[in-house]
Homo-oligomer: A and B are copies of this chain.
Amino acid sequence: MATDFSDAEQPGTQRPGGRTERTRLAVLHATLALLAEHGYGELTVDAVAERSGVHRTTVYRRWKSAEGLVAAAFHLGTEDDWTAPDTGSLAGDLYEMLAELVGYFTTPGMRELPTASILAAFQSELAAEALHSFYVDRHARCAVLTTRAIARGEAPAGTSPDEVIRAASGPIFYRLFISRESLGLADARLAARATAAAAAAGVFVPA
Contact = CB atoms under 8 A, between A and B. Distances in A.
Which residue among A119, A178, A190, A194 has the maximum number of chain B CB atoms within 10 Å of its CB? A178
A140 interface: no
Majority-rule SS of A interface residues:
helix
A169 B180 contact: no
Interface in A144-197: 163, 166-167, 169-175, 177-181, 190-191, 193-195, 197
Interface residues of A, number: 40
A203 interface: yes
A102 B96 CA distance: 30
Contacts of A179: 131-132, 135-136, 139, 166
Interface of A: 41, 115, 118-119, 121-123, 128-129, 131-132, 135-136, 139, 163, 166-167, 169-175, 177-181, 190-191, 193-195, 197-198, 200-201, 203-204
Given A173-B174, A193-B203, 13 more contacts: A115-B122, A129-B180, A131-B179, A166-B174, A166-B175, A166-B179, A167-B171, A169-B174, A170-B173, A174-B174, A193-B198, A197-B203, A198-B201
